[in-house]
Chain A
Amino acid sequence: MSIDTPAPGKAKDEVTAARIKAEKMPFGRWMRVVGWRHVVAIIVVIWALFPAFYVITLAFSGGNTLSGACPPDRQGLAALTCLVPSKLSFDNFTAILTSTQWPFAVWFRNTVILATLNSFLALLMGACAAFAFSRLRFKGRRMGLLLLMLVQMFPAVLALTAIFILLQSIGEVFPPFGLRSIWGLLLVYLGGALGVNTFLMKGYFDTIPVDLDESARIDGAGHVKIFFGLIMRLALPILVVVFFVSFASTFNELPMAQQILPDPDNTTLAVGLNSLVSNPLLQQWGLMAAGGLMAAIPLLIVFAITQRSLTTGLTAGAVKG
Chain B
Amino acid sequence: MAPVVLDKINKLYENGFHAVKDLSIDIADGEFLVLVGPSGCGKSTALRMVAGLEDISTGNLLIGGRRVNDVDPQGRDIAMVFQSYALYPHMSVRDNIAYGLKLRKMPKDLIEQRIAKAADMLELTPLLDRKPKQLSGGQRQRVAMGRSIVREPQVFLMDEPLSNLDAKLRVQMRAEISAVVRSLNTTTLYVTHDQTEAMTMGDRMAVMKAGVLQQLGSPTDCYDTPVNIFVAQFVGSPPMNLVVVKVEEGPNGLVLRGERSTLAIPDSVLSARPALKSYVGKTVVVGIRSEDMEDASLAKDADPLRRLAGKVTLTEALGSELVVHFTFPGTRFETADTKLIAKEGGAGDELHIGDELGIGWVASFGPRSRVRMGDDIEVVIDVERIHYFDPDTSQAIWT
Interface of A with B (CB < 8 Å)? 209, 211-212, 214-221, 225, 230, 233-234, 314-321
User: Chain B 272-297, CB within 8 Å of chain A: the 1/0 string?
Assistant: 00000000000000000000000000
- Contacts A214-B73, A214-B86, A219-B147 aside, 15 further interface pairs with beta carbons under 8 A come to A214-B53, A215-B80, A218-B73, A221-B74, A234-B90, A314-B89, A314-B90, A315-B89, A317-B133, A318-B89, A318-B132, A319-B85, A320-B84, A320-B140, A321-B133
Q: Is the CB of B103 within 8 A of A318?
A: no
B82 within 8 A of A: yes
Q: Is the CB of B133 within 8 A of A220?
A: no
- Give how many B residues have a beta carbon under 8 Å from the other chain's beta carbons: 32
Residue of A nearest to B100 (CB): A219
Question: Number of A-B pairs whose CB atoms are under 8 Å?
Answer: 82
Interface of B with A (CB < 8 Å)? 51-53, 72-74, 78-80, 82-90, 99-100, 103-104, 131-135, 137, 140, 147, 151, 164
Determine the distance from Cα of A274 to Cα of B190 in the docked complex, in whole angstroms.
68
Contact of A212 among B73, B80, B88 (CB under 8 A): B88
User: Could you write out 17 A-B pairs with CB less than 8 Å apart?
Assistant: A212-B88, A214-B73, A214-B86, A215-B80, A218-B51, A218-B52, A218-B100, A219-B100, A220-B100, A220-B103, A225-B103, A233-B90, A234-B90, A316-B89, A317-B132, A317-B133, A318-B87
Q: Is the CB of A217 within 8 A of B86?
A: no
Determine the distance from Cα of A301 to Cα of B87 in the docked complex, in whole angstroms.
34
Q: Most chain-B Cβ atoms within 10 A of its Cβ — which of A214, A230, A233, A321?
A: A214
Q: Most chain-A Cβ atoms within 10 A of its Cβ — which of B53, B131, B151?
A: B53
Q: Is the CB of B104 within 8 A of A220?
A: yes
Q: Is the CB of A209 within 8 A of B164?
A: no
Q: Most chain-B Cβ atoms within 10 A of its Cβ — which of A209, A212, A218, A234?
A: A218
Contact of A218 among B74, B87, B89 (CB under 8 A): B74
Q: Is the CB of A218 within 8 A of B85?
A: no
| Shortest Cβ gap from A47 to chain B (Å) | 40
Contact partners of A209 in chain B: CB under 8 A: 84, 86
Contact partners of A319 in chain B: CB under 8 A: 84-87
Q: Is the CB of B74 within 8 A of A234?
A: no
Determine the distance from Cα of A319 to Cα of B165 in the docked complex, in whole angstroms.
12
10 nearest A-B residue pairs (beta carbon): A317-B133, A219-B100, A211-B86, A319-B84, A215-B86, A220-B74, A318-B89, A220-B103, A317-B132, A320-B164
Q: Is the CB of A316 within 8 A of B82?
A: no
Contact partners of B100 in chain A: CB under 8 A: 218-220
Contact partners of B133 in chain A: CB under 8 A: 316-318, 321
Residue of B nearest to A319 (CB): B84
Q: Is the CB of B74 within 8 A of A219?
A: yes
Determine the distance from Cα of A230 to Cα of B90 in the docked complex, in whole angstroms.
9
Q: Is the CB of A217 within 8 A of B164?
A: no
